[in-house]
């Protein structure tokens, strides 16, 4: 596995642990369908939560969460729509981002709940 893929996997692993420790139940990881992907699908008492995890090894080019652009957001919304319909889920959805920074020894996570709203198309 390429080094950047390993770093991304570390970020997703730690994000999953973080979510579990904060009363989320992990439903899926790396869910894929028709070229769409969602890093983590979780739920808490109120929401089904679709999570994008962005991991970086430095802040040189900006915060990890800043890399979840409009195109990525729209793809997440479409994927979430597929997932909700396929699984007949009638629970409010939320879109979160977890930014992770690896300094070579430890990972710092920042969780942005309700990071964006689905755009009206």
pLDDT at position 91: 94
pLDDT at 8 (0 to 100):
80
Q: Over the chain (121 residues), what is each successive 10-residue block's mean pLDDT? A: 72 95 97 94 97 82 78 93 95 95 86 86 50
Q: Are 10 and 103 in contact (CB under 8 A)?
A: no
Architecture of the structural domain at 1-47+68-91: 3-Layer(aba) Sandwich (3.40)
Residue with token string 């939320």: 94
Supply the pLDDT for residue 1.
Answer: 56
What is residue 15's predicted lDDT score, i.e. its pLDDT?
96
Per-residue model confidence (pLDDT) at position 59: 65
Q: How far apart are the first and last CA of the chain?
A: 37
Match 């802040």 to its residue by tokens: 59
Could you tell me the pTM of the whole model? 0.90
Q: Are residues 58 and 7 in contact, defined by beta-carbon separation less than 8 angstroms?
A: no
pLDDT value, residue 107 = 86
Residue with tokens 């979160």: 96
Structure tokens at 116: 């964006």
Task: Quote the tokens at residue 92.
Answer: 């409010």
Q: Which residues of 78-98 are buried (b: 16+ CB within 10 A; e: fewer)?
A: bbbeebbeeeeeeeebbbbbb
């Amino acid at each position: 596995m390429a080094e950047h893929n390993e770093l991304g996997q570390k970020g997703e692993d730690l994000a999953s642990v973080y979510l579990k420790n904060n009363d989320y139940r992990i439903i899926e990881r790396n869910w894929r369908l028709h070229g769409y992907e969602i890093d983590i699908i979780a739920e808490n008492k109120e929401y089904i939560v679709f999570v994008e995890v962005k991991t970086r090894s430095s802040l040189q080019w900006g915060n990890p969460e800043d890399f979840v652009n409009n195109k990525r957001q729209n793809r997440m919304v479409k994927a979430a729509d597929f997932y909700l319909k396929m699984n007949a889920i009638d629970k409010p959805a939320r879109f979160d981002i977890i930014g992770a920074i690896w300094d070579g020894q430890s990972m710092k996570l920042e969780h942005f709940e309700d990071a964006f709203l689905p755009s009206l198309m």
